[in-house]
Amino acid sequence: MIQLDGVTKWYGPTLAVDGVSFTVKVGDVVGFLGPNGAGKSTVLKMVSTWLPPSAGRIAVGGHDVEKEPLAVRRVLGYLPEHNALYDGMKVAALLRFVGRMRGLGGARLAERTAWVVEKCGLDAVMGKRIHQCSKGYRQRIGLAASLIHDPPVIVLDEPTHGFDPVQVVAFRSFIRELREGRTILFSSHVLAEVTAVSDRILVINEGRILADAPVAELTARASAAGGSLEDLLLDIVRASGGKPAEVKP
């Protein structure tokens, strides 16, 4: 699971994350929703051990991100917002390299490589160099690399960035398939993406969690108020004193 308790992050004099607390349990798919600059990526970078928190505590799979960063990385599959890949490598070589870095070898490496290639739809580009691949394929390659070691905790930052509509639909189905026995947290600023696959929504703006509730509960609240879910989320932001979030429908 993922657990944050009072997590704060300062960049010099700028407060980027302000006392964030939440838990994502095994079997949960939680959508992290907010406008650009709300603090989503900073939270996910702290969860993945890329950045240390300025205050508070984060545990992933029972491991403290500051005290046991290597243990966290072993159980975590992380796709960052800016998907850094080795452009000169062929796709097959990259997946083999990442798998070996993750401790896989022999039949297990072959098995996991075949699985991610099938699930991420990479057959057509396995012999290509990464710089020859489209933006959508590059995103799928990064997703495959993040999942090759079969992690129990998955953190995805804007995972559908660069996907075409068909790929977006396939991604939604894939996430539903992955959920059993895993903990999944993914960020987006697109409301439809979050509501399509999430059990629960976390709304963040200006570094603060403004809402943490099941999708069904938020939808019922919006319906009772005679508005849409998007209207409800914008009202939550306005009531907090923050700027209205430009959340895309």
Q: Is residue 76 part of a domain?
A: yes
The SS3 of residue 79 is strand
CA distance 10 to 55: 9
Number of domains in the chain: 1
Q: What is the pLDDT of residues 46-102, one digit of tens each?
A: 999 999 999 999 999 999 999 999 999 999 999 998 888 999 999 999 999 999 999
Q: Which of the four pLDDT bands, split at 50, 70 and 90, describes residue 242? A: low
Domain assignment present for residue 15? The answer is yes
- Please state, in angstroms and as integers, the Cα–Cα distance from residue 166 to each residue in 5, 6, 136, 172, 225, following that order: 38, 39, 11, 10, 33
Residue 186 lies in a domain: yes
Q: How far, in Å, CA of 19 to CA of 240, rounded?
A: 15
Per-residue pLDDT, 233: 82
Domain membership flag for residue 112: no
Domain span holding position 219: 2-84+152-239
Q: Evaluate whether residue 142 is within a structural domain.
A: no
The pLDDT value given to residue 241: 62
Tens digits of residue pLDDT in 201-239: 999 988 999 999 999 999 899 899 888 888 888 888 777
Q: Phi and psi dihedrals of 32, rounded to 5?
A: -105, 105
Note whether residue 140 is domain-resident.
no
Q: Tell me the C-alpha distance between 119 and 143, whole Å.
A: 10
CATH code at 203? 3.40.50.300
> 202 in a domain, yes or no?
yes
245 domain-assigned: no
Comparing CA positions, the residue from 135, 77, 137 lying closest to residue 101 is 77
Q: In which residue are the tokens 């998955």 written?
A: 154
Q: How many helices (H) and strands (E) does the chain have?
A: 9, 10
Per residue in 92-144, pLDDT (tens digit) is 999 999 999 999 999 999 999 999 999 999 999 999 999 999 988 999 999 99
Amino acid identity at 217: E
